[in-house]
Amino acid sequence: MHSSLVHRYLARSLPPVHCARRLFTSGRCLRHTEATPKVYESGFEQPKFAERLGRPQIRNQVLFFVFGSSLVFSYAAWRTNFETELWANRLAASTKWTDITSADLRRLQQIELVKNLRGVYALIQDQASQIPQLLRPWVSGLYLAFAQPYADASDGRRLCWKLCLLNAGVWVAWNISRLQPMMVRSFMHHPLSGLSYTMLSSTFSHRSIIHLLANCLALESFGSSASVYLSQSQSSTSPDQLESTSAYHFLAFYLSAGVFASLVSHTVTAKFKYPLLISRLSSPANAPKAIDTWQTAVSAVSTTAASATTKAAASSVVPSLGASGAIYACVTMTALAFPNGQIALTIPPSYPIDIQLGVGTLLALDVLGVIRGWRFFDHFAHLGGAAFGVAYYTFGPTFWTYMRGAGVDKKSDQEGE
């Protein structure tokens, strides 16, 4: 009888429930007033602090990586097959050779590229006739200063330059004040935001010019080397499978590595850092106490120290951005593919050292940063990208051959029908 009266009282006195949109799934609708006490057989009990906040999820982020990477690699394989067939047909129509190799296809593309660049140069020379004669050599010289290195570079290096230009464009957007809210929302990945696409967009995002320049220098060096390895691995894994360019393969690898690095950082924050933060916030040491006795005064001092600890824990859950994770994948794959290579810093200049020693030192610093709790860099993202590079060096060439073969088989089946 008493239990029935309690339930009736609760049903009449509690305010109506309004379901609001939340970042995290808690399984219940939150009320606009203070938390409603649960009814247990032994009486009333307030829900725990962590239960009221909920917990960030990783399911959507994992699905974004799996399906996003599958889509990117599928498109890259299809585009590579399409361009390879296009150039093979052009080469077969212009020569009597029957034994066409991938090197022949790349050579034909290079000839076509140089032809187009010379056409642009002739157009510039024609238009330059309208400007003072003193300025004409400067105009043509400026074009040649960019066109000649572009023509001499490999497909992978040209793609790295384009990625650097994209990064520079995002950096410019960061410096436009009216775009700040959009940039913070869409070009930084915060593990507590519930968003998934920012794991990709943050890969192209840099707020400081030093961060941008450092990553672009590393990408131009290690990215082009990784692209060379992907091209060589294609020839050794499946020599009968022609490939006119490795640019799409490298782009798929780079994007997937960047998202995977963000996913690792997101998972560590959601499953380890965030629960630790909540446990510290909900600890009795953070509860305010009235200072009316000597004992409570001493307790208040300890509470202040606990608040400082809580602030330190809260600073560990921060948004991340930058291409470092994807670049680390290029670094580790390059170190495994070319173990006898050497690396040296451009700024500041340094003596060359063995690539495996240099990369091993970088990874050791990241492991030390994880152990010591350093927060200047996202060490978990670095290690996640490095792990992706090692995994792709081991299984990537076979996977790429399968993806390209699956696209060719599907096209053959459609033509047969």
φ and ψ at residue 188, rounded to 5 degrees: -135, 135
- Non-local (6+) Cβ contacts of 70 within 8 A are none
Looking from the CA of 141 toward its CB, the CA atoms found within 13 Å total 5
Closest CA to 242 of 111, 90, 114, 112: 90
E strands present in 309-396: 342-343, 353-354
pLDDT in the model for residue 148: 93
Sign of the four-CA dihedral 177, 178, 181, 187? negative
Query: In whole angstroms, what is the distance from residue 237 CA to residue 250 CA?
Result: 16
| Inter-residue contact 194 to 269 (CB < 8 Å) | no
CATH architecture of structural domain 55-83+157-290+318-416 = Up-down Bundle (1.20)
Domain coordinates of the chain in residue numbers? 55-83+157-290+318-416, 101-152
The C-alpha R_g of the chain, in whole angstroms, comes to 29
pLDDT in the model for residue 307: 53
How is 44-72 classified by DSSP, letter by letter?
Answer: EEPPPHHHHH-----HHHHHHHHHHHHHH
Degrees (nearest 5) of the Cα angle 404, 407, 412? 125
Which helix (H) or strand (E) segment holds residue 389: the answer is helix 379-416
Query: In whole angstroms, what is the distance from residue 302 CA to residue 385 CA?
Result: 41
Blockwise average pLDDT, block size 10, the chain, 417 residues: 43 45 42 45 49 72 97 97 94 77 92 94 86 84 92 94 97 95 94 92 95 95 95 87 94 98 93 78 59 47 48 65 96 96 78 90 93 85 96 96 77 51
Closest CA to 362 of 337, 404, 397, 331: 331
pLDDT in the model for residue 53: 52
Tell whether pTM > 0.75: yes
pLDDT in the model for residue 146: 93
| Inter-residue contact 23 to 193 (CB < 8 Å) | yes
Query: In whole angstroms, what is the distance from residue 343 CA to residue 179 CA?
Result: 38
In three-state secondary structure terms, 283 is coil
